[in-house]
Amino acid sequence: MTEHESVRQLLALSAAGLLDAGEERLVREHVGQCAQCAANLDDYLALSAGLSELPAPHPSADLVSRTAMLLAAEADRRQGAVFAAVASIFALVFVLLLAAYGFAAIESRPTIGGVVSAFAALAIAGCGLLYAWRPAAGGIVD
């Protein structure tokens, strides 16, 4: 890409005052040597000045209120997702400890209670895993 082409892409941003000092210096140096870019920059400056003179509409109070409510709901949802993930991890650790206890009971002295608690703990652990993945997938946490 030639300097002319790269500067052409910066002309509108220069007119809007959005370039950093280095980019602005590059534009100014090039415009001093290139009549076509100088003319384009003048057009962009005139357009920018015209746009800044237009009245800026203010959003309605209803729109501002609804937007604020949506932002607050999104913040609550994100906070709830973090809480649900942490709670799920703690629940999962608890259930895995319960399962380990159940399997230890089966190994040392097989009883119906030990078998039932081991399978129940595994089932609960599976549900905990599903729930833990739910907020990570962007689901809504109640």
- Interface residue list for Zn ion (CB under 5 A): 4, 34, 37
Count CB neighbours of 112 within 10 A: 7
Q: How far is the CB of 27 from Zn ion (least distance, A)?
A: 10
Shortest Å, Cβ 44 to Zn ion: 13
Q: Which is nearer to Zn ion, 41 or 125 (CB)?
A: 41
Nearer CB in complex with Zn ion: 4/78: 4
| CB nearer Zn ion, residue 34 or residue 96 | 34
Contacts of 15 (CB under 8 A, 6+ apart): 41, 44, 45, 47, 48
Is-contact 88 131, C-beta < 8 A? Answer: yes
Instruction: Please report how close the Cβ of residue 8 comes to Zn ion at its closest, in angstroms.
Output: 6
Tell me the one-letter amino acid at 48.
Answer: S
In this complex, which beta carbon is closest to Zn ion, that of residue 30 or of residue 99?
30
| Shortest distance (Å) from residue 10 CB to Zn ion | 10
Maximum Cα interatomic distance, the chain, rounded to a whole number of Å: 93
Of 73, 79, 81, 77, the residue nearest 135 (C-alpha) = 81
